[in-house]
């Protein structure tokens, strides 16, 4: 299999948005737009990550779309199973609700909620053991980029999790490269810089796991319809993790279409 055989992923990270009525309207618009302009599953996988209390409701609403749109949890507990852990949702409980995907390692979780490397490893281990697919986010800060450390930081973030991912589990890992300085700022890495980092990540994945050619590497950070086409043409960018622009059905699906068109 070569990199070009990877089906792109476009995933909307809704973060702590929106209110219920708007979430329902957003899904309704997505379904209507997909009827008018279908995007084949074989050309692009689609996912949305709503707030945890909306996961099953959005999943039910999406079940009548004309194609699969996966529901993705934004987080998972570092504690497996069930028990006296107030406020937590384990990987097993996500799987029990047929939620098959989870974001782990988003910079907002790392920075604002103290998700340390040890916590991220526990979350990934639990998620994989429960059968979930993990979208693992990596990315450098502006200071790290300016100090010339971007690649080293990102490769270290990949190495951080290698010990908890068993060989056959890498097929349930998707990487999302999100330079922190590009998230929600309107600044995007240039397609050249993004491609260079993605190529490094792929090389690193090949060395660490042997599966570099089959793992999808998404780009995230102010992806919008205006920059999606150029990002989509980069050979090592296999999709996008979209924040702000995913709260608008038209923008989100235009981004998905840009990646689908490369197939």
Q: Which residues bind ligand PGA (CB under 6 A)?
A: 13, 178, 183-184, 220-223, 241-245
CA distance 95 to 131: 7
The least distance separating ligand PGA from the CB of residue 166, rounded to whole angstroms, comes to 27
6 or 48: CB nearest ligand PGA = 48
The least distance separating ligand PGA from the CB of residue 101, rounded to whole angstroms, comes to 14
Which of 92, 108, 140, 178 does the annotation list as catalytic? 178
The least distance separating ligand PGA from the CB of residue 123, rounded to whole angstroms, comes to 17
Phi, psi for 223 (deg, rounded to 5): -75, 135
14 or 170: CB nearest ligand PGA = 14
Q: Using CA of residue 15, residue 100, residue 214, residue 246, what is the dihedral sign?
A: negative
Which of 106, 108, 140, 198 does the annotation list as catalytic? 106
- DSSP H helices, the chain, are 20-36, 55-62, 91-96, 107-112, 117-129, 142-146, 150-162, 191-209, 225-232, 249-260
The least distance separating ligand PGA from the CB of residue 15, rounded to whole angstroms, comes to 7
Catalytic (active site) residue 198:
no
| Tally: H helices and E strands in the chain | 10, 8
Residues 6+ apart with CB under 8 A from 95: 130, 131, 132
138 bridge partner residues: 177
CA distance 243 to 12: 6
Cα torsion through 40, 45, 48, 53, rounded to 10 = 100
The least distance separating ligand PGA from the CB of residue 215, rounded to whole angstroms, comes to 18
Residue whose CB is nearest to ligand PGA in the complex, by number: 243
169 or 188: CB nearest ligand PGA = 188
16 or 167: CB nearest ligand PGA = 16
Active site residues: 106, 178
């Amino acid at each position: 299999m070569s990199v070009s055989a990877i089906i792109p992923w476009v995933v909307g990270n809704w973060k702590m948005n929106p209110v219920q009525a708007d979430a329902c309207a957003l899904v309704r618009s997505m379904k209507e737009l997909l009827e008018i302009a279908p995007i084949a599953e074989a050309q692009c996988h689609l996912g949305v990550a709503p707030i945890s209390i909306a996961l099953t409701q959005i999943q039910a609403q999406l079940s009548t779309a004309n194609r699969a749109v996966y529901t993705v949890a934004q987080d998972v507990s570092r504690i497996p199973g069930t028990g006296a852990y107030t406020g937590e949702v384990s990987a097993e409980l996500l799987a029990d609700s047929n939620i098959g995907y989870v974001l782990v390692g988003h910079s907002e979780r790392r920075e604002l909620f103290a998700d340390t490397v040890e916590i991220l490893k526990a979350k990934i281990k639990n998620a994989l053991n429960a059968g979930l697919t993990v979208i693992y986010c990596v990315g450098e800060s502006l200071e790290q980029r300016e100090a010339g450390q971007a690649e080293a930081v990102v490769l270290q973030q990949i190495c951080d999790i290698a010990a908890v991912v068993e060989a056959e589990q890498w097929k349930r890992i998707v990487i999302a490269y999100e330079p922190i300085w590009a998230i929600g700022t309107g600044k995007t890495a240039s397609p050249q810089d993004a491609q260079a980092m993605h190529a490094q990540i792929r090389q690193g994945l090949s060395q660490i796991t042997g599966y570099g050619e089959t793992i999808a590497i998404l780009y995230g950070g102010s992806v919008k319809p205006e920059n999606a086409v150029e990002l989509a043409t980069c050979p090592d960018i296999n999709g996008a993790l979209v924040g702000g622009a995913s709260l608008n059905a038209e923008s989100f699906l235009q981004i998905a279409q840009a990646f689908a068109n490369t197939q």
